[in-house]
Amino acid sequence: MVCMHTICCAVIKQFTVASSRSAFTARRDDPRNPNWLSVGLTLASTVAIWVLIFKQHNDDTIEYERRKAERESLSAGS
């Protein structure tokens, strides 16, 4: 009977060896010739995320101010 630990270690080792090589990489990347599509998509997604963060922050600030004014008007009216 084979120990479960031995099987798990063998599977992890095989996965690590298999995942460290890529069938699609035939040569090293040339740092003088970057993949501009990848660079563009990375920058565009970063800008989009920051725009969404600022928009959400502004919406949250407006909601906070509205609730604060509502709370103050209720407490002043009591």
- Residue 36 inside a domain? The answer is no
Determine, yes or no, domain membership for 34: no
Structural domain range at position 62: 49-78
User: Does any domain span residue 5?
Assistant: no
| In the predicted structure, residue 1 carries a pLDDT above the cut 60 | no
DSSP string, the chain: ---HHHHHHHHHHHHHHHHHS-TT--S---TTS--HHHHHHHHHHHHHHHHHHHHHHHHHHHHHHHHHHHHHHHHHH-
**pLDDT tens digits for 30-69?**
889 999 999 999 999 999 999 999 999 999 999 999 999 9
Residues near 56 by beta carbon (within 8 Å), at least 6 away in sequence = none
pTM of structure: 0.56
Residue 28 banded pLDDT, cuts 50, 70, 90: confident
With respect to residue 30, please indicate whether it lies within any of the assigned structural domains.
no
Please name the amino acid found at residue 75: S
What is d(CA 19, CA 25) in angstroms, rounded to the nearest whole number? 12
